[in-house]
Amino acid sequence: MNISKIILISLSLAILSQLVQSIDFTEKDLSSDESLWDLYERWRSHHTVSRDLSEKQKRFNVFKENVKHIHKVNNMGKPYKLKLNRFGDMTNHEFRSTYGSKVKHCRMLHGGRSGTGGFMHEKTDNLPPSVDWRKKGAVTGVKDQGNCGSCWAFSAVVAVEGINKIKTNELVSLSEQELVDCETDNQGCNGGLMENAFEFIKKNGGLTTEIIYPYNAQDGSCDSSKMNSPVVMIDGHENVPENDENALMKAVANQPVSVGIDAGGSDLQFYSEGVFTGPCGTELDHGVAAVGYGTTIDGTKYWIVKNSWGPEWGEQGYIRMQRMVDAEEGLCGIAKEASYPIKLSSDNPKKVSLKDEL
């Protein structure tokens, strides 16, 4: 293949990638139901969303309200923007039910938090002004949980992948599906707690890779042959002191940390870019991971949070959330129930190189 053809293909793929990321609209699209219907059809085609005739009218009404909300918020001068993403014709209730981890419900089932009771990062001082574990090679690419409330598994895996990279210098993409299928203290696609995932990994002698036990976005029977091929081990987990953003900073300065947030608001559903400042509640319903923190040029402090809704959502799959707010639990409750895995050595059940993963 000659160079010109290679360049043409590369440009085509780049354009296609940009098209897939979002679909824009203008004031003209909002001018009438007819123009909004045309926008809805473009959105459905863009995201390959299939609806039967009876469902389309119902979904169009939801879509219309979502578009108006996005337009309204984007004209309010907030430090963040929204966009019309693949969740465009879902009600906020449907969105929460599908993509949340039901942290509060799971906490009621399991009672108090587990963990060693210590906080190994307590004496960390002279914190750097910014941290980004992505730049240190300790964060894998953004993943997509699909129509499964397994965010707890993705959150836990980010933290385990991170500490494994820090201790072994190997970045290995681990299996969320093993946790969904085999971790019986949680409820798979119906939600769970990150600390239960950490304890399962410890007791099981490790977690296998995403390649060995791939993700399929649904509950399944535990495949013991794959589960019995652990690749990355941990020694347990600790909880960050509750409602303390300073303590969370100390933990994140040392490793990626699993956090729960209230992700139920429409603004989070359609978040696109910027520092998210709310509104949001503090009823934890979604597991994500804090992989860094920083400060904007104008002085706004923020957390760097990795999500599991695919790279189209937010800032290539991430959200910057305002840090050090007045509420002691942090914005959207981010400081309420943070936890992280402990790994004391570079030992693993099986050494895996990056070549093996590729």
Query: Which residues are catalytically annotated?
Result: 151, 286, 307
Distance CA(77)–CA(63), nearest Å, equals 23
Read off the tokens for 219.
Answer: 């509950």
Residue pair 349/175 in contact (Cβ under 8 Å)? The answer is no
189: its two tokens: 């696609």
Extract the tokens encoding 64.
């219309």
The number of residues in the chain equals 358
Q: How far is CA 30 from the centre of its chain?
A: 31
Q: How would DSSP label each residue in 260-294? A: EE---SHHHHTEEEEEE---------EEEEEEEEE
How far is residue 36's CA from residue 172's CA, in Å, rounded to a whole number?
A: 45
The contacts of residue 48 (CB under 8 Å, 6+ apart) are none
